[in-house]
Structure 1
């Protein structure tokens, strides 16, 4: 595994932007209060609250190793990409609610591992991967250092 200057694995962790968490948090609280006040099914408030907490704490994690990188979003969806499969890497677009969160199938083909905000586009031989990253320039530089010149 590629190690940083302080001998720890290199990892980029990106959290959902605060403004998205705030909107989803307010919506979750409103939904829970409505369910609690509705009478016949107040027990539904517990799973609804759990879903909103899980969504608002969603992260994208990119871990760089010596021969490959791993990407994980929401703690559930993951992939491994070998550097030899990468034909190009660049800063991608900032994603929003419209693109969705979590594992996404992108228009035009490809896969997104998204939590919102800045991203990195990784072009593989077979498809494109878009991953949320708070510091896309740093990730592009780190991945680029592994690609053949």
Structure 2
């Protein structure tokens, strides 16, 4: 067992298939892994099995679409199934002009009914100087809107 950033991993087996091309799908990775893992949410060390799919496409030179889906089965140390998680993430990046970009990230968790929208607008108004507007919204099934945050930031490069 060893520490790797956010969690402890024991013995792990991974298998990935990486597809790259110049067509509609620029890159795709299909993977699976299983191994020992510490579950921080439930405070136990058990086994996990994961199937994942990640794909990126660029319908235009200034537009990128990504999708990342995972099904995770978490097991107690005894081998009994604790929970199954299904997570889907969508990301859209669009450059209307060379110095302006918009990125939208949609992490969806259909199993728990939690939905989030994260958006970022960035404008380079001078070389190496940017203006950002970030928008985050979190919703849950049965509760509705949990929180909404809007933040603006200006970065400016001074000639010293």
* TM value normalised by structure 1: 0.27
Larger relative strand fraction:
2
* TM value normalised by structure 2: 0.25
Between structure 1 and structure 2, the one with the greater Rg is 2
Structure with more contact order per residue of length (Cα contacts < 8 Å, sep ≥ 6): 1
Larger relative helix fraction:
1
